[in-house]
Amino acid sequence: MQISLGAGTQSRRMRKTQNAPDRFDKGLAHRAKCPVESVRYDRTIQKECELHMAKTKYGKFIITDTDFPPNHPRDKKSYQVNTLWIHEKMKGALKDAFYLETNLVRFPGETTPQMKPHKHDFDEYIIFMGTNPDDPLDLGGEVEFWLGGEEKHILTKTCAIFIPKGMYHCPFKFTRVDRPFVFVTTGNTNTYVQSGFSTDPRWAHLAEGHAGP
C-alpha cells in the first residue's frame, strides 16, 4: 500500500528537515552560554541513551557508567581518576564479564600507603597508553614499575605488561606526567583478588594489600 502525503504535510516536513541544523547550532550555543543547562542537557541525553539500550537486545553490553573502586575514587584532587570499573559481573548484570578497570592519570602520584608486591590466581594485563595524537607511542610521562619483586622498570612508552598467574608485581608509581595518559588493568577473572604478598625482606616496610575484592 502506498500512502501519498498532501502538499501541506510535505511542506511542513521539509521545513522541519531544513530547520534541524539551525536548531542544533542554537542548542550548542545555548549550552556554551549556560554550563548548568549544559550539564542538565548532557544528563538528559545520557538517560535517554540508557533507556534506549535497556530496551534493546544487546544494549546491556555497552557499559557507560559504573561504580568505582574505593582506592581509586573519582575525585578532582586524585592523581588518577577512575572512569570504568567492571567487577563481580556488574553485580550479576553481566554474566561472565571479565574484571576491568580504566583510569586517567593526570599528575604524578602513588598509592598511599605503598603496597608489597602481590600476585593473583589469574593472568592479568596492565596497560599504559599515551594520548599524544602526534606520537601515540609516547606515554607522555614516566612510570616506575616493579616486576617479580626484584626488577624495577622505567616505562616511558605506550605498553602492555602481561602478568602471568602467580607472578609478583608492583609497587609502582607515576613519577612524571607531561600530559594525561590512560591506565588500564584487566584479567581473565570476574573478581579482582590479590592471592598473596611477597615475603622478601626488602619489602618488609611496606603494607600488604587486600586479599579480597
CATH of the domain at 78: 2.60.120.10
124 and 178 in one domain?
yes
pLDDT tens-digit profile of 141-158? 999 999 999 999 999 999
> Band of the pLDDT at 38, cuts 50, 70, 90?
very low
Q: Which pLDDT belongs to residue 196?
A: 93
Residue 167 lies in a domain: yes
21 and 75 in one domain?
no
Poorest-pLDDT segment among 102-106, 109-113, 125-129, 198-202: 109-113
Q: Which pLDDT belongs to residue 124?
A: 96
> Band of the pLDDT at 3, cuts 50, 70, 90?
very low
Across the chain, which distance is largest between two alpha carbons, in Å?
86
Poorest-pLDDT segment among 15-19, 74-78, 115-119: 15-19
Q: Taking all residues of the chain, what is their mean pLDDT, rounded to a whole number?
A: 79
Poorest-pLDDT segment among 43-52, 62-71, 91-100, 177-186: 43-52
pLDDT tens-digit profile of 13-36? 444 444 444 444 444 444 444 444
148 and 129 in one domain?
yes
When divided into structural domains, the chain yields a total of: 2
Q: How far apart are CA 129 and CA 140, in angstroms?
A: 9
21 and 94 in one domain?
no
Residue 210 lies in a domain: no
Beta strands in the chain (DSSP E): 80-86, 99-105, 109-110, 118-119, 124-129, 138-147, 151-157, 159-163, 169-177, 181-187, 196-197
77 and 16 in one domain?
no
180 and 101 in one domain?
yes
Residue 47 lies in a domain: yes
78 and 177 in one domain?
yes
98 and 46 in one domain?
no
Domain range for residue 21?
Answer: 7-55
H-run or E-run covering 50: helix 35-55
19 and 82 in one domain?
no
Residue 77 lies in a domain: yes
> Band of the pLDDT at 210, cuts 50, 70, 90?
low
Residue 119 lies in a domain: yes
Q: Which pLDDT belongs to residue 118?
A: 95
Q: Which pLDDT belongs to residue 151?
A: 97
CB atoms within 10 A of CB 117: 23
Phi, psi values for residue 91, rounded to 5°: 60, 35
44 and 76 in one domain?
no
Does residue 129 register a pLDDT over 70? yes
Q: Which pLDDT belongs to residue 49?
A: 61
69 and 100 in one domain?
yes
Q: Which pLDDT belongs to residue 213?
A: 44
Q: How far apart are CA 108 and CA 173, in angstroms?
A: 8
Residue 129 lies in a domain: yes
165 and 122 in one domain?
yes
Calculate what percentage of the chain has a pLDDT beyond 70: 71
Q: Which pLDDT belongs to residue 74?
A: 78
Residue 73 lies in a domain: yes
Residue 79 lies in a domain: yes
